[in-house]
């Protein structure tokens, strides 16, 4: 008799622990820790993860596991441990931690069904239902709903004749394709070929093919290659010469693409110096965190590639995290180009099926390198030799829903377990990381120069207030306009960058100042030109665009803000000859659109690439000689203590897009606050001065890296209720922490209402509070245990967004 500990797929306070189940004798050999199983839970059957197998349980009367869902564990031992670590450190339910480590395709879906209760006979049911249950023992709830059967079903369920069950549905099928294989030897096929009558010429062509090729070939490919129809193949199958067979194939997002192979480049002295300590750490199997600090174009990626080479040669594996990788096909090219089929790619642009297949390549040890976005940090490798996080300062490495983890922390935890180095790469490291490198917690490796000593582009900051004073009301300064024109004449390319965050197009009345807000959330609605609609980005509320002001009936109600569409319109007016490619959420929604637009720009099909932050990354084309930032300060005024840092990082990053090759580059930054240090220092690309300046601010205001943060957000439909609950929670936190901790709040969140729920928060700043996690857990325990109160409490340890 063996017992399995199982985490069940019910995210709630009461079920956030292991439940014991008996393993039926016939599954004893099969079921292993890390497997998904189906277990009875209350009246239902649900999915769970086996975390442990043990000889006995302290509980009596255990129920049995129904069946395993996997043939092999989907989580290895290290990942099972990591799940517990995630649970502890991000204060999430265990089930969320385990699910986060797997591709979405492996998350269970449940189908609601109705079946006869045990011992009930069909003829005990009303006639109307007998028909429905005649052929099936369980009928689908959704179908019953459609057929209007639900009320009767409910009545009979109340009578005990029927019961509702939940059936776990595997969401994803492996992809199967039809292949054709020869059933005879080449010689026999040749004889068969000769024996066929003359007029069976199509069949002869097929047999001739298999005389020459003995490997299975995909049916569709065979048909198109030989220009024959499926019936020809059928005929040969019937004669016993060939066979058709379903074979599993991977959905390969990079199918039909060739990657030209690249060889390691001879390293520069700087690169060599930076690489030695990393190789040393790999060689000695000693965990260490390196901060590889170097401007864009200083050769960081080449170092990644060559250290990975070393790791592969030692028989180990590598994870490379890249922000929003779908957006940088060039990055994928570099890894596939160097390591070919040894690379799996995981990012949000893939379909669930494609992701699942890439993940299985890792699980089956068919690849040694994974390049991916945040969640690729959970790649099920078992012998990691290095973890690399490129652009480590990127906010997308933090997950904003449960489990609220930062990929950097997970990377370090995994690397400790695997005794391997972590390399954090950036031109503008997160303040926290640079501070750690200064203190020696991380090892700082610098690449001070761009490759071939190419100069950084010249950056000019334009004061837009001056433009206005000079009578220029356009969103383009005179200088930017002039340079754009010049580029078109010279047949060079420009990139225009619009910092969209916190600055979307809204509708305002010019007479009375009325702004159209979402009725459910306290933020302005965003104007969408294509659909002529107003939309709330938080709750999805949609509304028509008014032609008159609802407040004062004025006709002067217009949309404001410089959305990409508006910039495109204006470009069309002032530079009608310019060919423009626009890249934003609207034009890149379709799969592959991003890559296609970039390709077109690369091929010179446009003069100007206009876009939001998504174009700031990875863009590396030789013909770009001008970068314009339309409004540098839209992000500077967000209620976020990191807004200066983010502005600096973004401006530095976009500036790096110009002049990466032979042609020299120019950068124009337009701003209303040229005197702000993040604008000014980004202009001269001086990270070190920015770092010192910003550290002073952080110290003065008790922010990271001097203090850690934890954010408790409380929401409820009733305002009074939120306020009083937040007060209680804040008081409780204060009572439990030392007087070195700062507890702010209750305060209304920067977005005080979302979807008709009022939001208040309490911000904790602390240095060392051993009791904090326990305290926060106690708060969650209390509020999660009482879902009827309607209060939602969420806790973010090390929050990135304070909204």
Pick between residue 271 and residue 505 the one whose CB is nearest to ligand ADP. 271
Rounded to whole angstroms, the Cα distance separating 363 from 106 reads: 13
Assess 782 for contact with Zn ion (CB under 5 A). Answer: no
* Maximal C-alpha separation, the chain: 97
Interior angle at CA 245, CA 240 and CA 248, nearest 5: 165
- Token pair for 539: 């709750």
**One of 5, 281, 301, 562 touching ligand ADP (CB under 6 A):** 301
Question: What residues are paired with 46 via a beta bridge?
Answer: 39
Q: Which of 412, 368, 417 is nearest to 387 (CA)?
A: 412
- Token pair for 282: 């790999």
Rounded to whole angstroms, the Cα distance separating 100 from 403 reads: 7
**One of 182, 297, 403, 674 touching ligand ADP (CB under 6 A):** 297
Angle between helices 687-700 and 431-439 (to 10 degrees): 100
Q: Which among Zn ion, ligand ADP, none contacts residue 801 (Cβ within 5 to 8 A by kind)?
A: none
Q: Cβ of residue 664: shortest distance to ligand ADP, in angstroms?
A: 16
Q: Which among Zn ion, ligand ADP, none contacts residue 299 (Cβ within 5 to 8 A by kind)?
A: ligand ADP
Q: Cβ of residue 296: shortest distance to ligand ADP, in angstroms?
A: 4
Q: How many residues does this entry show for the chain?
A: 803
Q: Cβ of residue 303: shortest distance to ligand ADP, in angstroms?
A: 7
**Gap between the terminal Cα atoms of the chain:** 52
**Binding residue count for Zn ion, defined by CB under 5 A:** 15
**Helix (H, G, I), strand (E, B), or coil: what is residue 290?**
strand
- Token pair for 41: 């839970």
Pick between residue 270 and residue 413 the one whose CB is nearest to ligand ADP. 270
Rounded to whole angstroms, the Cα distance separating 452 from 450 reads: 6
Pick between residue 378 and residue 434 the one whose CB is nearest to ligand ADP. 434
**Helix (H, G, I), strand (E, B), or coil: what is residue 680?**
helix
Name 272's Cβ contacts closer than 8 Å, sequence gap at least 6: none
Assess 533 for contact with Zn ion (CB under 5 A). Answer: no
**One of 86, 521, 669, 712 touching Zn ion (CB under 5 A):** 521
Strands 493-497 and 608-611: parallel
**One of 163, 463, 551, 570 touching Zn ion (CB under 5 A):** 551
Q: Which among Zn ion, ligand ADP, none contacts residue 536 (Cβ within 5 to 8 A by kind)?
A: Zn ion
What are the CA-CA distances from residue 684 to residues 446, 560, 620, 798 (Å)?
19, 31, 21, 31
**One of 7, 345, 536, 762 touching Zn ion (CB under 5 A):** 536
Interface mask (CB under 6 A) for ligand ADP, residues 256-295, using x and -?
Answer: ---------xxxx--x----------------------x-
| Phi, psi torsion values for 87, nearest 5 degrees | -60, -45
Q: Cβ of residue 452: shortest distance to ligand ADP, in angstroms?
A: 7
Residues 403-462 that bind Zn ion (CB under 5 A): none
Pick between residue 296 and residue 749 the one whose CB is nearest to ligand ADP. 296
Q: Cβ of residue 328: shortest distance to ligand ADP, in angstroms?
A: 11
Assess 538 for contact with Zn ion (CB under 5 A). Answer: yes
Q: Which among Zn ion, ligand ADP, none contacts residue 288 (Cβ within 5 to 8 A by kind)?
A: none
Pick between residue 495 and residue 729 the one whose CB is nearest to ligand ADP. 495
Pick between residue 18 and residue 522 the one whose CB is nearest to Zn ion. 522
Q: Which among Zn ion, ligand ADP, none contacts residue 512 (Cβ within 5 to 8 A by kind)?
A: Zn ion
**One of 162, 312, 509, 614 touching Zn ion (CB under 5 A):** 509
Q: Which among Zn ion, ligand ADP, none contacts residue 265 (Cβ within 5 to 8 A by kind)?
A: ligand ADP
- Give the binding range for ligand ADP (CB under 6 A) out of 77-85, 298-306, 511-519, 544-552: 298-306
**One of 83, 182, 253, 299 touching ligand ADP (CB under 6 A):** 299
Pick between residue 613 and residue 631 the one whose CB is nearest to ligand ADP. 613
Q: Cβ of residue 390: shortest distance to ligand ADP, in angstroms?
A: 7
Q: Cβ of residue 451: shortest distance to ligand ADP, in angstroms?
A: 4
Assess 516 for contact with Zn ion (CB under 5 A). Answer: no
**One of 16, 270, 288, 302 touching ligand ADP (CB under 6 A):** 302
Check the CA dihedral 242-246-250-252 and report its sign: positive
Burial of 258 (0-12, 13-18, 19+ CB in 10 A): exposed
Helix, strand and coil percent figures for the chain, each rounded to 5: 35, 25, 40
Pick between residue 294 and residue 457 the one whose CB is nearest to ligand ADP. 294
Assess 300 for contact with ligand ADP (CB under 6 A). Answer: yes
Q: Is there a contact between 682 and 655 (Cβ–Cβ < 8 Å)?
A: yes
Assess 296 for contact with ligand ADP (CB under 6 A). Answer: yes
Burial of 778 (0-12, 13-18, 19+ CB in 10 A): middle
Q: Cβ of residue 254: shortest distance to ligand ADP, in angstroms?
A: 20
Q: Is there a contact between 278 and 307 (Cβ–Cβ < 8 Å)?
A: yes
Q: Cβ of residue 515: shortest distance to Zn ion, in angstroms?
A: 10
Sheet with 708-716, side-by-side order of all strands: 742-754, 757-766, 708-716, 792-797
**One of 259, 481, 541, 641 touching Zn ion (CB under 5 A):** 541
Interface mask (CB under 6 A) for ligand ADP, residues 75-114, using x and -?
Answer: ----------------------------------------
**One of 64, 511, 570, 686 touching Zn ion (CB under 5 A):** 511
Interface mask (CB under 6 A) for ligand ADP, residues 501-520, using x and -?
Answer: --------------------
Pick between residue 502 and residue 622 the one whose CB is nearest to ligand ADP. 622
Q: Is there a contact between 509 and 548 (Cβ–Cβ < 8 Å)?
A: no
Cis check for the bond before 556: say yes or no (omega within 30 of 0): no
Q: Which among Zn ion, ligand ADP, none contacts residue 520 (Cβ within 5 to 8 A by kind)?
A: Zn ion
**Helix (H, G, I), strand (E, B), or coil: what is residue 178?**
strand
Q: Is there a contact between 612 and 650 (Cβ–Cβ < 8 Å)?
A: no
Burial of 152 (0-12, 13-18, 19+ CB in 10 A): middle
Q: Which of 312, 300, 397 is nearest to 800 (CA)?
A: 397
**One of 515, 539, 697, 748 touching Zn ion (CB under 5 A):** 539
**One of 512, 684, 731, 747 touching Zn ion (CB under 5 A):** 512
Residues 435-474 that bind ligand ADP (CB under 6 A): 451
What are the CA-CA distances from residue 58 to residues 42, 50, 53, 411, 588 (Å)?
20, 17, 14, 36, 56
Burial of 344 (0-12, 13-18, 19+ CB in 10 A): buried
Assess 298 for contact with ligand ADP (CB under 6 A). Answer: yes
Question: What residues are paired with 181 via a beta bridge?
Answer: 243
Tokens 């090390």 sit on residue: 798
Q: Which of 253, 247, 254 is nearest to 216 (CA)?
A: 247
Q: Which among Zn ion, ligand ADP, none contacts residue 297 (Cβ within 5 to 8 A by kind)?
A: ligand ADP
- Residue 127 has a CB neighbour count (10 Å cut-off) of 7
Q: Cβ of residue 310: shortest distance to ligand ADP, in angstroms?
A: 16
Q: Which among ligand ADP, Zn ion, none contacts residue 259 (Cβ within 5 to 8 A by kind)?
A: none
**Helix (H, G, I), strand (E, B), or coil: what is residue 650?**
helix
Q: Which among Zn ion, ligand ADP, none contacts residue 554 (Cβ within 5 to 8 A by kind)?
A: Zn ion
Pick between residue 304 and residue 356 the one whose CB is nearest to ligand ADP. 304
Tokens 């670590």 sit on residue: 85
- Residue 724 has a CB neighbour count (10 Å cut-off) of 14
By the criterion CB under 5 A, which residues form the site for Zn ion?
Answer: 509, 511-512, 514, 518, 520-521, 536, 538-539, 541, 549, 551-552, 554
By the criterion CB under 6 A, which residues form the site for ligand ADP?
Answer: 265-268, 271, 294, 296-302, 451
């Amino acid at each position: 008799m063996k017992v399995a500990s199982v985490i069940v797929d019910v995210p709630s306070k009461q079920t956030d622990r292991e439940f014991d189940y008996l393993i039926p004798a016939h599954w004893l050999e099969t079921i292993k820790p890390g497997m998904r199983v189906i277990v009875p839970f209350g009246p239902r059957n649900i999915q769970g993860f086996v975390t442990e197998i043990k000889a006995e349980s302290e509980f009596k009367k255990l129920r049995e596991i129904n069946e395993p869902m996997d043939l092999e564990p989907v989580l290895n031992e290290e990942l099972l441990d990591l799940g517990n670590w995630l649970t502890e450190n991000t204060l999430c339910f265990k089930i969320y931690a385990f699910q986060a480590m797997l591709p979405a395709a492996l998350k269970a879906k449940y189908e609601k069904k109705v079946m006869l209760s045990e011992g009930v006979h069909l003829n005990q049911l009303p006639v109307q239902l007998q028909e429905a249950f005649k052929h099936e023992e369980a009928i689908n709830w959704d179908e019953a709903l459609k057929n209007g059967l639900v009320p009767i079903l409910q009545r009979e369920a109340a009578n005990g004749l029927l019961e509702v069950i939940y059936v776990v549905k595997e969401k994803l099928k492996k992809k199967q394709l039809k292949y054709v294989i020869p059933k005879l030897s080449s010689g026999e096929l040749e004889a068969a070929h000769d024996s066929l009558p003359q007029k069976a010429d199509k069949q002869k062509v097929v047999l001739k093919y298999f005389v020459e090729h003995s490997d299975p070939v995909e049916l569709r490919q065979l048909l198109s290659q030989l220009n024959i129809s499926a019936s020809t193949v059928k005929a040969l199958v019937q004669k016993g010469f060939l066979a058709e067979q379903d074979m599993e194939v991977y959905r390969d997002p990079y199918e039909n693409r060739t990657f030209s192979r690249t060889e390691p480049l001879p390293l520069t002295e700087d690169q060599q110096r930076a690489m030695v300590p990393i190789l040393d750490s790999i060689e000695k199997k000693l965990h260490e965190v390196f901060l590889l600090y170097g401007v864009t174009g200083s050769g960081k990626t080449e170092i990644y590639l060559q250290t990975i080479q070393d790791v592969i040669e030692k028989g180990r594996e590598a994870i490379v995290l890249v922000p929003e990788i779908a957006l940088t096909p060039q990055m994928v090219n570099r890894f596939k180009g160097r390591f070919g089929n040894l690379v799996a790619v995981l990012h949000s642009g893939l379909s669930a099926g494609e992701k699942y297949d890439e993940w299985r390549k890792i699980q089956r040890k068919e690849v040694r390198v994974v390049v991916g976005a945040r969640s690729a940090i959970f790649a099920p490798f078992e012998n990691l030799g290095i973890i690399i996080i490129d652009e480590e300062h990127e906010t997308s490495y933090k997950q904003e829903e449960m489990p609220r983890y930062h990929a950097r922390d997970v990377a370090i935890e995994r690397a400790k377990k695997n005794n391997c180095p972590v390399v954090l790469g950036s031109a503008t490291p997160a303040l926290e990381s640079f501070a750690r490198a200064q203190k020696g917690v991380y090892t700082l490796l610098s690449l001070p120069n761009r490759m071939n000593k190419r100069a950084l582009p010249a950056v000019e900051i334009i004061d837009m207030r001056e433009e206005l004073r000079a009578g220029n009301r356009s969103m383009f300064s005179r200088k930017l306009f002039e340079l754009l024109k010049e580029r078109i004449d010279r047949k060079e390319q420009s990139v225009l960058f619009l910092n969209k965050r916190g600055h979307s197009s809204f509708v305002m009345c010019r007479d009375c100042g009325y702004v159209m807000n979402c009725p459910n959330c306290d933020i302005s609605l965003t104007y969408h030109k294509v659909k002529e609609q107003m939309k709330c980005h938080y709750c999805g509320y949609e509304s028509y665009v008014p032609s008159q002001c609802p407040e004062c009936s004025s006709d002067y109600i217009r949309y404001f803000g410089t959305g990409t569409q508006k910039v495109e319109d204006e470009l069309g007016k002032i530079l009608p000859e310019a060919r423009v490619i626009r890249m934003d959420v609207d034009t890149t929604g379709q799969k592959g659109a991003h890559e296609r637009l970039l390709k077109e720009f690369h091929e010179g099909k446009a003069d100007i690439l206009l876009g939001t932050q998504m174009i700031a990354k990875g863009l590396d084309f030789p013909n770009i000689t001008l970068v314009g930032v339309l409004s540098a300060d839209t992000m500077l005024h967000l209620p976020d203590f990191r807004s200066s840092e983010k502005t600096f990082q973004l401006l530095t990053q976009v500036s790096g897009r110009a002049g990466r090759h032979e042609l020299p580059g120019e950068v124009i930054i337009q701003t209303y606050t040229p005197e702000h240090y993040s604008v000014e220092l980004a202009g001269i690309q001086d990270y070190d001065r920015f770092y010192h300046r910003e550290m002073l601010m952080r110290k003065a205001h008790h922010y990271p890296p001097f203090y850690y943060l934890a954010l408790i957000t409380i929401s409820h439909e009733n305002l009074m209720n939120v306020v009083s609950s937040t007060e209680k929670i804040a008081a409780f936190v204060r009572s439990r922490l030392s007087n070195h901790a700062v507890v702010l709040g209750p305060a209304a969140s920067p977005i005080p209402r979302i979807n008709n729920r009022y939001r208040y928060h309490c911000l904790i700043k602390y240095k060392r509070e051993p009791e904090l996690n326990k305290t926060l857990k106690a708060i969650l325990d209390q509020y999660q245990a009482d879902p009827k109160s309607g209060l939602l409490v969420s806790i973010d340890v090390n929050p990135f967004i304070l909204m």
